[in-house]
Amino acid sequence: MNTEIENLWRKYNQLLDSQSFIEDDLDYSILKNHITYLEKIGEISNSVIMVFDMFKRQHVFVSKNISNIFKLDLDKVEGATDYLDQRIHPDDYLKLMEAGLYFLQYAFTISQDKRKDYKLINEYRLKNEKGDYIKIIEQQLCLEFDKHGNIWLSLGIMDLSPEKSDNDVFKSRLIDLKKHEVYLFPPKDKESILTARETEVLQLISKGLLSKEIADKLYISINTVNTHRQRILEKLNADNSIEAIKYANSIGLI
């Protein structure tokens, strides 16, 4: 694993660690009910259906038709993600990691009641057990929260992509199903992903206010201010506040 991918995995795990699960509060009867329904859908569908558990960080359900549709080993797909990760085309894997991290960061800025309004769509190449690369289109949606508001179960729907061209092989976009807005990766304007609160915090930082002063002015905690500051740096790909302010000024954000 190269350094860049290792760094992305570190950031990805740090982001997942920001969710605090209490195992005893997770009601897995909810998952069983979903599986009963999803198994029936898988039997009559040409789509592969998967459920990923954010607490266990593994696939807890994969429809059996993955063997027929994608020519993949069902037993190896269930559980850890290593099997699928290693079969993604090397040219697409890094981009998929970058897009996944980018949009997951965004998902964590959205209020819980709106998170199910979004759908992530990725297109990439995956090698089957015959050694052939197939082009797939994958949709990911939030399926369940735990009782504390953590994103717990995510639903994945995978199909053979109708696009067979080798041009622009990897594609990723986030769709707001309510507003019919589409966010592309890589984004043309990263600032469009900043929330209104993050923009407000950045404006106050540019005026020289410290975290404590920003917290008092906005009636939020210092920890919340620092979380906003970190996400601003990540979204604007800046190493520090000075770089973020310069970039924001250059695009007219502040």
Residues 46-61 have pLDDT tens digits of 999 999 999 999 999 9
CA angle 8, 47, 59 (to 5 degrees): 40
Q: Give the DSSP H or E segment for 139.
A: strand 133-145
Q: What is the CATH number of the domain that holds 225?
A: 1.10.10.10
End-of-domain residue from the set 185, 203, 225: 185
Residues 67-99 have pLDDT tens digits of 999 999 999 998 888 999 999 999 999 999 989
124 φψ region: left (φ > 0), alpha (ψ -120 to 50), beta (else): beta
Q: Is the whole model's pTM more than 0.75, yes or no?
A: no
Q: Provide the pLDDT for residue 191.
A: 53
User: Could you tell me if 78 and 168 lie in one domain?
Assistant: yes
Q: Which two tokens stand for residue 60?
A: 């807890």
Of the chain, the end-to-end C-alpha distance in Å amounts to 39
- Secondary structure letter of residue 110 according to DSSP: S
End-of-domain residue from the set 137, 153, 185: 185
User: Could you tell me if 112 and 148 lie in one domain?
Assistant: yes
User: Could you tell me if 240 and 155 lie in one domain?
Assistant: no
Q: Which two tokens stand for residue 48?
A: 């592969």
User: Could you tell me if 74 and 45 lie in one domain?
Assistant: yes
User: Could you tell me if 216 and 240 lie in one domain?
Assistant: yes
Total domains in the fold of the chain:
2
Domain extent for 223: 190-250
User: Could you tell me if 156 and 66 lie in one domain?
Assistant: yes
User: Could you tell me if 171 and 91 lie in one domain?
Assistant: yes
Whole-number Å distance between alpha carbons of 36 and 42:
10
User: Could you tell me if 226 and 102 lie in one domain?
Assistant: no
Cβ-proximal residues to 245 (8 Å cutoff; 6+ apart), any chain: 202, 205, 206, 254
Residues 134-171 have pLDDT tens digits of 999 999 999 999 999 999 999 999 999 877 655 557 88
What are phi and psi for residue 119, nearest 5 degrees?
-135, 130
Q: What is the mean pLDDT of the chain?
A: 89
